[in-house]
Amino acid sequence: FLLISHSGFNLGNLVLKMKGVLHELSEKLSLQIIIITHNENLSVLADKTFLVEKSQGKSIIKEISNDLI
């Protein structure tokens, strides 16, 4: 798998270009790509999106629909 940690820099119009590149990379190399970010706009890159929240000292992980973001 490939892990990408998004550090908050402005991606602007590159997001849609990244989607195609990452999808092609994933398909050709049979890679699972995981992107960790605080930027909800990057969810357009994902097949699945998960929200991680801390509640009472525990991490709560929820799969969310990209349509809701």
φ, ψ dihedrals at 49, nearest 5°: -130, 135
pLDDT range class, residue 57, cuts 50, 70, 90: very high
The alpha helices in the chain, defined as continuous H runs, are: 14-29
Q: What's this model's pTM, rounded to 2 decimal places? A: 0.63
pLDDT range class, residue 42, cuts 50, 70, 90: confident
Look at strands 58-64 and 49-55 and give their pairing: antiparallel
Residue 34 has what DSSP assignment? E
Question: What would the two tokens of residue 17 be?
Answer: 């270009």
Predicted pLDDT at 62: 93
* Residue-wise pLDDT tens digits, 6-40: 655 666 667 667 778 888 888 999 988 888 877 77
Q: In sequence order, what are the beta bridge partners of 7?
A: none
Residue 4 has what DSSP assignment? E
Predicted pLDDT at 30: 92
